[in-house]
Amino acid sequence: MIDSHGTGPAEGGRAVRLAALGGVIAPIVFAALVIVAGLAYDGYSHVGQKISELGGEGADFAVLQNLNFALLGVLILGFSWALARVLGPSYLGPALIGYFGLVAVAHAWIPCDVGCKGETAIGLLHNVTGLSGFVAAILGMFMLARRWREDTIWHPHAGFTRGAVAVALGGLVWFVITQAADIQSLAGIAQRIFAGALLVWIAVSAWRLRRSLDIDSSPGGVPAAVATARWEAK
Phi, psi of 22 (to 5 degrees): -60, -35
The reported pTM is: 0.86
Q: How far is CA 222 from CA 14, 192, 205, 219, in A?
A: 17, 33, 14, 9
Environment class of 204 (CB within 10 Å of its CB; exposed 0-12, middle 13-18, buried 19+):
middle
Exposed e or buried b per residue across 149-179, where buried means at least 16 C-beta atoms within 10 angstroms of its C-beta: eeeebbeebbebbbebbebbbebbebbeebb
Q: In tens digits, what is the pLDDT along the chain, a chain of 234 residues?
A: 223 333 344 456 889 999 999 999 999 999 999 999 999 999 999 999 999 999 999 898 999 999 999 999 999 999 999 999 999 888 999 999 999 999 999 999 999 999 999 999 999 999 999 999 999 999 999 999 999 998 888 999 999 999 999 999 999 999 999 988 888 888 999 999 999 999 999 999 999 999 888 743 334 444 443 444 444 344
